[in-house]
Amino acid sequence: MPHSAEKTLDTAVAAPATDAVTLDINQIQQILPHRYPFLLIDRITGMEPGKRVTALKSVTMNEPYFAGHFPGHPVMPGVLVVEAMAQAGGLLIMREFEPNSKLVLFTGIDKCKFRKQVTPGDQLRIEVTVLNWRSRAVKMGGNITVDGKLVCDATVMCQVVPRLIKKAEAGPETAE
């Protein structure tokens, strides 16, 4: 007959894997300051806090930039592909601080390569990993795939700065 400790192990519920962290668009908006039309991630599908994140962006014909980039041959601008990568990384970083206390500002891009065009109907799978984090400066490596094929990879750098809340954002003052 098994010992009671063995029975406890058999019935214990395992802690969820860190990759099991998921966030929907409403939860993303509670962390990132970006809004339509410039919020470029739709869902977080996995996260290892402070280390790595996986996000999704569904690209539709309704994106405002397709009206002029390019009529009759819509292509997502490469700078916005990289911005989606930076936003995923920014969310990963901002989760480490008190809500609305910091902003993550994009400071540089290294070794960026665009390998395939992104068009309406594509779903970007964005993976970002922290390479180096020193106080306020963060360097991250990222890659974006569509249907398992690499479309962009880059190293992005950013800086964490205090977020100054204007009175209009902070809400009405109350009399004491």
User: What residues are annotated to the active site?
Assistant: 69
CA neighbours closer than 13 Å in the CB half-sphere of residue 113: 7
Residue 141 Cα distances to 3, 52, 134, angstroms: 48, 9, 15
Beta strands in the chain (DSSP E): 43-48, 52-58, 102-114, 123-134, 137-146, 149-162
CA neighbours closer than 13 Å in the CB half-sphere of residue 97: 19
- Those residues whose C-beta lies under 8 Å from the C-beta of residue 33, and which sit 6 or more positions away, are 103, 163
Q: Are strands 149-162 and 137-146 parallel, antiparallel or unpaired?
A: antiparallel
